[in-house]
Chains A and B, each alone.
Chain A
Amino acid sequence: MTEPSTTNPTALAVEMRRVTKQFPGVLANDCINLQVAYGEIHAIIGENGAGKSTLMSVLSGLLKADEGEVLLKGHPVRGRPHLVSRRGLGMVYQHFMLVPNFTVAENVILGNEPGDRVHLDLRAAEEAVRRLGQDYGLNLDPAARIEDLSVGEQQRVEILKVLYRGSDVIVLDEPTQVLTLQEKNELFETLRCLVRDGRTIIFITHHLEEVMALSDRVTVLRRGRVVASLAIQDTDIATLAQLMVGREIGPGEKRTGDVTGDVVLEVSDLTAVSERGLQALDGVSFGVRGGEILGLAGVEGNGQRELVETLTGLRIPSGGEIRIGDQSTHGWSPRQFLEAGVAVIPENRRVRGVVEPFTIAENLVLGRHWKRPFSKGWVLDLGAMEAEAKSLISDFGIVPPDPEILVRTLSGGNQQRVVVARELAKKPVVLIAAHPTRGLDIAGRQFAHSCLLRERSLGAAILLVSSDLEEILDLGDRIAVIFEGRITGILPREEASEGKLGLLMVGARR
């Protein structure tokens, strides 16, 4: 377990001095100084690719800085992540570190297994995980396997993991991306509790309201440098946004005009079974018209993942029907859905979205690679691929702007841009967008929103799955709520409010 924290009041929980980290062609961290006091909630913000995750990996020992010093509770950090973790650092990485074919409980206890030397007491582990989940409002089935969980649920597992370890310096890299407001509030409450117990918290987010609501101090990174480190009472959202981007950000685009198109995507009485054999979708029906955005709100893990997969042919429904235009999709392969004009921004970009060892260019044409101009007959046209990549890279602001860079080396937000850019470039008839702005910075989020609105005005039928009510309320023409595999209500935008949706999200029927 963790060592008792040294309660030397003058010492800092975390101190990073002149940390520099160079990647081929990218200076990710440039002489960064960071000071985090004991008992502080310290936010780190910055645009996509600013170097936040890199800095945290240096802190956790996963990456070695080229220059500079890192002190954790006064001790220099050298080398191995497991040693640093034993010193009391708990880390929730942006891209999860879970063993896919282990259960929730097994993942949580990994490295801290209960039981005697020989035996593993799984029952106790599951009990502990259940109790912890209840205490902190992070509900999960301890016996479920990770690969069967949605990203939102996996996020909860990651958070439980650090809580279980009792780490006293906790780093959370974009933990709120797929949490609902309710879950966020519970998480924040948990974090405040932890700080009251004398823990220290560093968290990364792209949502400035969260920074203002939760943190004591905030450090702003821009292109690998610290541009400011401020006490929260000395700043406000506008200032922070300005510091982050270096210019003013206007308000986001809004939905305009009425929906007049015909129903393009029609789902009736759809049922599907999850890997765990549970009824994941239980008679789902809705229709989306051309030029309409239907928002699907709900707590992650209520069937969203299964719905998205059935709508793209990746999961075979156990009953019901999906119609696209006037065609029944019964027995269609994913390829047929694609050819019919269905594009999907998947919830988990690293699983379904990108091929990480491929380059940006290769990823940007994936799923269109068999068509002209990218293929002429059997042969790929590398020139056409590169040209397409260059134009999408500049449209979507992917950094670094080099088509030949491997997607594996991109920052989380830039990987997301690659997926969004590719799917929108397909000129979809039906667009299934699951958490499309997950991990995007403020400007990226606004840009993605205006892209969705543009597709809407071009007549696409859009299903927007998100746990972010604000996003759904900004973009949706109508809003459906899913709970335990059932649609608990569909409201026109005008009638929807956070309160009403919140009730539907916990199962109240309309």
Chain B
Amino acid sequence: MKDLSIRRIVRELGQALLPLALALAVGAVIILAIGENPLTVFGLMLRGSFGSLRRLSGTLQEASPMIFTGVSVALAFRAGLFNIGAEGQLLIGGFAAAWAGFALTGLPGPLHVVFCVVAAAAAGLVWGLIPGILKARLGVHEVINTIMLNYVALSLTNFLVGHPYFKEPGQIPQTRDIAASSVLPRFEFLYAHAKVNAGLWVALAVMVAVGYLLARTRYGFEIKAVGYNPEASEAAGISKSRVIWTTMGLSGAIAGLAGAEQVLGVFRCFVSPFPFGYGFVGIAVALLARNNPLAVLPAALIFGALTSGAQEVDVHSGTPREITVVLQGIFVLFIACEFVLRRKRRVGETEGGPKAGGKGREEEGRGEDG
């Protein structure tokens, strides 16, 4: 079956890269319309994101939070849950990390970092458990609740940052700086003041752990079973509601870690308003990765590169840097199209009769596990 799986990987890769190719094609038309040469601009983007150690470090830094949120969304997806709330979970997690960072003092370095990271995960956990429990117990749809909790998280952190206990004296709305012992070290070994920080290791570890969880553990088996067929899972003695609330909680905790990475590794305090969007990009990353945790890494790198290449474009060409945002948007659109098409094909396959389409083993989100 080896050849089959290699063929499958190649085909999946092709399918995954198709949206990117299409997005670049549309982007090229736009750039032409501006009167620039698309090839030059794409070349600049490539150089800007991978062209040197410094630029690569920038790309990795952009990708780090996306790995967390991508894994978070992908995990929930596997249980059939749509976690749109990674954004809010990230905010709450980040805030908790900042609080633990300045409030706890006198701890030795590594221990303090661990405390802050755990605080972020715990805060994200709570923020995921709320919609999880509402869904499991009352059947309230998680999409609505996670969206609302995003707003609650935004307002809550905004409000708290202004509170004298948290606020750094002065004009800028931000919390007090975290203690030096709680800072996630940057990759100084690459070069001085490298952007990327040790949060990347945590992200990779979480990614591998979730991959293992899904592929090899009992709990992961139950998550997938509920995601694929809740009725049959129930009949097999799996508690659907338990899987739902625990998975939502876990997903929230992972998104909360993204906040810790940003606060402990980048800003060293919680700024308000907090940089927006990693939670939502996580949805696109998960879709691109077909909800396969290990595929989140390349997917996050692509999105990271699109962001970090912007500056180069801005400085060295007449195209405004916003072109990369436009590109990301178009890219997401094509990923979504492809997702919908795949869904449709699958529905045609299952309900349209015995099992049409001649598809053997490839399956959305099945990924590498098993």
Contacts and interface: CB of A to CB of B under 8 A. Distances in A.
A21 B354 CA distance: 14
A337 B359 CA distance: 36
Nearest to B213: A378
Interface string B168-180: 0000000000000
Interface string A78-112: 00010000000001011101000000000000000
Given A406-B360, A408-B350, A366 B236 contact: yes
Interface stretch (B16-24, B218-226, B256-264): B218-226
A411 B353 CA distance: 11
B150 to A, nearest CB: 29
B216 A314 contact: no
B221 A362 contact: yes
B232 interface: yes
Interface in A325-355: 333-335, 337-339, 344, 346, 351-355
B15 interface: no
B228 A95 contact: no
B217 A314 contact: no
A367 B239 CA distance: 11
Nearest to B240: A334
Contact of B355 (A337, A358, A362, A409): A409
B188 interface: no
Interface in B327-370: 349-361, 363, 366, 370
A355 B228 contact: yes
Given A57-B353, A358-B224, A412-B354, A406 B363 contact: yes
B231 A351 contact: yes
A404 interface: yes
Given A54-B354, A62-B356, A93-B354, A356 B237 contact: no
Contacts of A97: 351-353
B229 interface: yes
A363 to B, nearest CB: 9
A60 interface: yes
B1 interface: yes
A63 B356 contact: yes
B201 to A, nearest CB: 24
B354 A353 contact: no
Interface in A363-381: 366-367, 369-370, 375, 378-380
A53 B233 contact: no
Nearest to A419: B232
Contacts of B228: 355-358
A356 B217 contact: no
B192 interface: no
B354 A53 contact: yes
Contact of B234 (A95, A314, A359): A314
B4 interface: yes
A28 to B, nearest CB: 9
A24 interface: yes
A57 B354 contact: yes
A21 B356 CA distance: 11
Contact of B216 (A54, A370, A379): A379
B19 to A, nearest CB: 23
A312 interface: yes
B6 to A, nearest CB: 14
B360 A409 contact: yes
Contacts of B222: 369
B353 A367 contact: no
Interface string B248-286: 000000000000000000000000000000000000000
Interface in A18-35: 21, 23-25
B235 interface: yes
Contact of B218 (A338, A378, A405): A378
A120 interface: no
Contact of B353 (A95, A362, A369): A95
A308 to B, nearest CB: 10
B183 to A, nearest CB: 34
Given A333-B239, A382-B216, A406-B363, A62 B353 contact: yes
A409 B355 CA distance: 6
B218 A375 contact: yes
Interface string A380-423: 10100000000000000000000011101101100000000000
Interface in B258-317: none
A222 B217 CA distance: 40
B237 A338 contact: yes
B218 A24 contact: no
- Among B216, B235, B351: residue with most chain A CB under 10 A: B235
A81 B237 CA distance: 38
Contacts of A375: 218
A23 B235 contact: no
B218 A344 contact: no
A353 B232 contact: yes
Contacts of A344: 235
A357 B370 contact: no
A369 B232 contact: no
- Among B222, B349, B353, B361: residue with most chain A CB under 10 A: B353
A359 B215 CA distance: 13
Contacts of A314: 234-235
B176 to A, nearest CB: 40
Contact of A378 (B217, B233, B354, B366): B217
Contacts of B234: 314, 334, 352
A453 to B, nearest CB: 25
Contact of B221 (A57, A346, A380, A408): A380
Contact of B237 (A334, A351, A378): A334
A378 B350 CA distance: 32
A60 B221 CA distance: 36
Contacts of B225: 355, 358, 366
A68 to B, nearest CB: 15
A404 B5 CA distance: 12
A361 to B, nearest CB: 9
A355 B217 contact: no
A355 B232 CA distance: 6
Contact of A62 (B1, B218, B236, B352): B352
B217 A380 contact: yes
A63 B358 contact: yes
A463 B339 CA distance: 44
Contacts of A62: 352-353, 356
Contacts of B356: 57, 62-63
A355 B360 contact: no
A359 B353 CA distance: 19
B351 A366 contact: no
A351 B355 contact: no
Contacts of A334: 234-237
A23 B354 CA distance: 13
A354 B354 contact: no
19 contacts: A21-B358, A57-B354, A97-B351, A97-B352, A97-B353, A335-B239, A344-B235, A346-B235, A351-B232, A353-B235, A354-B232, A359-B370, A362-B221, A362-B370, A367-B236, A367-B237, A379-B218, A380-B218, A405-B360
9 closest A-B pairs (Cβ-Cβ)? A367-B236, A24-B360, A335-B237, A338-B237, A53-B354, A352-B235, A355-B229, A93-B353, A366-B236
Given A355-B224, A369-B222, A369-B236, 4 more contacts: A24-B358, A57-B354, A408-B349, A408-B355
Interface of B: 1, 4, 216-219, 221-222, 224-225, 228-229, 231-239, 349-361, 363, 366, 370
